[in-house]
Amino acid sequence: MGLFSRDIGSLDDLFVHTLRDIHYAERRILTALPDMIGKTTDPELQIALRTLFAETEGHVRRIEDVFVLHGAALKTVKCHAIEGIMAEAEVVVGEVAEPEVMDATLAACTQAMAHYKMSRYGTLVAWARRIGRADCAALLQRNLDEEKAADRALTGIAETKLNVRAAE
């Protein structure tokens, strides 16, 4: 599926394309998280990011189950959005001098990734239902629910602790 060819002719095609995109994004996040965990100094944030890593592995497996259910080939589509979010995170992380500020930065960067994924999963669930794939929608909804819960957890840690310490 090239950028300038017109291979997306139906909602079904769009669904599969976006599934490939989020599969790329989830795996890209798995390559970045260990380094991010290594940069945290707050034990609670470290646990949250480790939990997120395990959940992300589960998301990849569920997406792959959706490919099988839908009978679609698991091809790679580069997610330019997650590459952009990652590139920006690397720039900011590289500029941060204080450990307390780093923890607030890492939480914010992780939430930016989660928000991208939430938007994609919300769309994928709606499209799966529309094309008659309630089975796929149910799996994708579980990923969406986990993203939302992780996002809420990070907001909790940031607002009660990380941002407070970063501001001191």
Task: Tell me which residue has its CB nearest to Fe ion.
Answer: 79
Which residues does 157 contact at the CB level (< 8 Å), separation at least 6? Answer: 42, 44, 45, 48, 107
SS3 content of the chain, % helix, strand, coil (to 5): 85, 0, 15
- Least CB distance to Fe ion at residue 136 (A): 18
Check: CB of residue 139 under 8 Å from CB of residue 22: no
Question: At closest approach, how far in Å is the CB of 2 from Fe ion?
Answer: 16
Q: C-beta of 77: minimal distance to Fe ion in Å?
A: 8
Residue 28 Cβ vs Fe ion, minimum distance, rounded to whole Å? 10
Q: Which is nearer to Fe ion, 66 or 158 (CB)?
A: 66
Q: Where do contacts with Fe ion occur on this chain (CB under 5 A)?
A: 21, 79, 81
| Nearer to Fe ion (CB atom), residue 21 or residue 26 | 21
Query: Which residue number, 21 or 100, has a Cβ lying nearer to Fe ion?
Result: 21
CA–CA separation, 164 vs 168, rounded Å?
7
Q: For residue 58, what are the CA distances in angstroms to 13, 75, 77, 110? A: 24, 19, 20, 17
Q: What 3-state class would DSSP assign to 156?
A: helix
Smaller CB separation from Fe ion, 102 or 124:
124
- Least distance (Å) from Fe ion to the CB of residue 5? 18
Q: How far apart are CA 66 and CA 72, in angstroms?
A: 8
Nearer CB in complex with Fe ion: 47/81: 81
Taken as a whole, the chain contains a residue count of 168
Give the count of alpha carbons within 13 A of 60, CB side only: 14
